Amino acid sequence: MSDTHSQLAFVRTEMLAQKEPPVAEKGVVKWVRSNLFSSWSNSILTVVALYLIVQLIMNAGPWFANGIWSTNSLAECREILQGASGGCFSVLSERWNQLLFGIAYPDTQYWRPTLAFVLMLVAASPVLFSKLPRGMLIFTGLYPFLAYWLIWGGTMMTSIIALLGFVAAYLAFRKAERAGFSIGLGAGIIAAVVVWKVLGMFAGELSILPLEEVPSRNMGGFMLNMMLGTICISLSLPIGIALALGRQSHMPIIKGISVVFIEFIRGVPLITLLFVANVVLGYFFPPETNMDLILRVIIMITMFASAYIAEVIRGGLAALPKGQYEAADSLGLDYTQAMRFIILPQALKISIPGIVNVAVGLFKDTTLVSVISMFDLVGMIRGPILASTEWNGVYWELYGFAALLFFITCYGISQYSQWLERQLRTDHR
């Protein structure tokens, strides 16, 4: 076999150096050809799209570039621009605080909601990122009381008493839990009510770290959207879980109550519920209870959100294989133990994307409160700012700013949820 070489005319013995691929098959040219001009219909689409983009840039470019940031009214902007295209962004810099905090929040106290916002990020981080030290969850637990004191002001006593009530409830629950979950729950509620009643009698005596009080009607701007969104979502999660479990329950009365509540709330637009909060809800409470509008709105939005969250969690519960329920039963766990240790951790994990969707949707829907004349971000823009003589007619800059704020928040949340889904994926794919 070794003489094959001599019988053949030519045998290459060394490797050729690799040739460059053809110009059309590499680099930018190939990318453009396969991604933009792969067929004639694609080419037409590309050209049309490019034309639209160029038009957009030609129109919006100068508008941004010539933007004016430091005048006191639209008239001054127009004077400077002399008919040229340009945005009058001064409305944002001049009304910055109003856009963020509303029209009536005291000027000297802006640091309080700002601090509350920063602390909220700190409080939320251990919930959002499980790698952070678990000790931070203590701060998360304290945060609602701290935030109430910071935003509404007054003496810190209210927050401390509320907190002590919850601590007492927790301790009582731990003591009585052995007799059964429901008995523990009952003991917790009784302990909390007792603590609030007893300590409430001394509340007026002491005043710790008093801050200037800000009534609810003075809240506004983007702060109001943030407050409504955070409060209502946090409150609606436990209610939503309870409703979802109720809807899955075998007890006809409890199931009936949950189904009617969920279907009724999901069947009507949020705006009608806000009308209820605005004009009807007051009739359902004794005349001496003086609920302010923001509290009534929080009640209605929470009901609204919990119905949607209940449906998402019901989906998660239904998606669990039946074997999980049977496994819990065969371990001898009772209903609450099975739910707490086996079912809910898995069902909630499945429901996270849905819950985040509801949260984003709800946060966007907080703008609807502007329809019942509350001054949230949209309400501020449509009301005091566009109605003022200085800024009448500055639509694009204001609405664009509002859209941008919401986009950043909501897009951020949905990106986080996608990241979390990848983190929680425990199957090996």
Partner 1 sequence: MTAYSDPPKSSFQLSQLIHDTRYRSYTFQAIALVLLLLGVGYLLSNLLGNLAAAGLNISYDFLGKPAGYDINQTLIDYTNQSSHWRASIVGVLNTLLVAFLGCITATVLGVFAGVGRLSKNWLIAKLMSVYVEAFRNVPVLIWILIISTIVTILPSPRAFKGETPDAEMFLGLFAFTNRGIYAPKPVWLEGSGIVVATFIISVIAVFFYRRYATKLLYATGKMLPTGWPSLAILLVPSILMYFVMGRPIGVDIPELGGFNFQGGMQLQRPLIALWLALSIYTGAFIAENVRAGIQAINRGQTEAAASLGLRSGRIMSLVILPQALRVIIPPVISQYLNLTKNSSLAIAVGYMDVTGTLGGITLNQTGRAIECILMLMMFYLIISLSISAIMNAYNNRVKLKER
What residues line the site for partner 1 (CB under 8 A)?
34-36, 38, 42, 45-46, 49-50, 53, 180, 182, 250-254, 257, 263-264, 266-272, 275-276, 279-280, 282-287, 360, 364-365, 367-368, 370-371, 378, 382, 395-396, 399-400, 402-403, 406-407, 410-411, 414
Nearest-approach distance from CB 287 to partner 1, in angstroms: 6
Please report, as a single letter, which amino acid is at residue 149: W
The residue among 320 and 371 lying less far from partner 1, judged by its C-beta, is 371
User: Least distance (Å) from partner 1 to the CB of residue 76?
Assistant: 22
With beta carbons less than 8 A apart as the criterion, state whether 223 and 101 touch. Answer: yes
**Shortest distance (Å) from residue 255 CB to partner 1:** 10
**Residues belonging to the chain:** 429
Smallest separation, CB 406 to partner 1 (Å): 5
Which lies closer to partner 1 via its Cβ, residue 236 or residue 370? Answer: 370
Nearer to partner 1, 144 or 316 (CB): 316
CA atoms within 13 A on the CB side of 34: 7
**Among residues 87 and 144, whose Cβ is nearest to partner 1?**
87
235 vs 154: CA distance, rounded Å:
23
Q: Which is nearer to partner 1, 149 or 363 (CB)?
A: 363
Q: Cβ atoms within 10 A of the Cβ of 159, count?
A: 21
CA distance 419 to 424: 9
- Collapsed DSSP state (helix, strand, coil) of residue 291: coil
Which residues have C-beta within 8 Å of that of residue 64, sequence separation ≥ 6?
Answer: 87
Residue 147 vs 244, nearer CB to partner 1? 244
Nearer to partner 1, 365 or 390 (CB): 365
What is the C-alpha to C-alpha distance for residues 50 and 44, in angstroms, rounded to an integer? 10
Give the count of beta carbons closer than 10 Å to the beta carbon of residue 407: 10
**Is the separation of the CB atoms in 225 and 363 below 8 Å?**
yes
* C-beta neighbour count of 242 within 10 angstroms: 15
Contact between residue 209 and residue 156 where contact means Cβ atoms under 8 Å apart: yes
Q: How far is the CB of 207 from partner 1 (least distance, A)?
A: 34
Which one, 34 or 55, has the nearer CB to partner 1? 34
Distance CA 224, CA 230 (A): 10
What's the closest the beta carbon of residue 175 comes to partner 1, in angstroms? 18
247 in Cβ contact with 259 (< 8 Å): yes
Asked if residue 115 lies in contact with residue 150, where contact means CB atoms within 8 angstroms, the answer is yes
Nearest approach in angstroms of CB 271 to partner 1 is 5
**Nearest CB to partner 1, comparing residues 373 and 423:** 373
By CB atoms closer than 10 A (0-12, 13-18, 19+), residue 287 is exposed
Kindly state the smallest distance separating residue 168's Cβ from partner 1, in Å.
23
Ramachandran bin of 207, using left for φ above 0, alpha for ψ from -120 to 50, beta for the remaining angles: beta
Q: b/e map of 308-331 (b: 16 or more CB within 10 Å)?
A: bbbbbbbebbeeeeeeeeeebeee
Q: Which is nearer to partner 1, 313 or 362 (CB)?
A: 362
**Residue 277 Cβ vs partner 1, minimum distance, rounded to whole Å:** 10
Q: Which is nearer to partner 1, 69 or 395 (CB)?
A: 395
Considering the complex, what minimum distance in angstroms separates the CB of residue 127 from partner 1? 22
Smallest distance, partner 1 to C-beta of residue 253, A = 4
CA 310-311-316 angle, to 5 degrees, is: 95
